Amino acid sequence: MKLPVIKHLTNFIEENDQDYVLETIETLEALTEVSSLKDEELDVIGELISNLYGAVEVDKMIKDGSPKKEALNNFMKRVLGAIDK
């Protein structure tokens, strides 16, 4: 996951609608079922899906009252904490 990408997607959600991101996730998940995809291509799609889900989670925290910067930082701390375990 990349914080600048998640931040950009969070801004996109604020300016447009979360449904666009959710539909993109569904589309990318459907693409992963293509049997001819190479591992590198699946890795890229997986990274995109992770960033999209991250932006949805940050948007939820913002809607629950967290300032954007704090929501982004807390989300990345959770991600890094999960990786360290």
pLDDT of residue 1: 83
Single pTM value for the model: 0.89
pLDDT of residue 37: 96
State the total domains in the chain: 1
d(CA 32, CA 76): 25
Amino acid at residue number 78: R
Q: Are 18 and 10 in contact (CB under 8 A)?
A: no
Residue 18 is classified by DSSP as H
Look-up of token digits 């590198």: 40
d(CA 23, CA 19): 6
pLDDT of residue 80: 79
Residue 83 is classified by DSSP as H
pLDDT in tens, 30-81: 999 999 999 999 999 999 999 999 999 999 999 999 999 999 999 988 887 7
- Domain extent, residue 37, equals 3-84
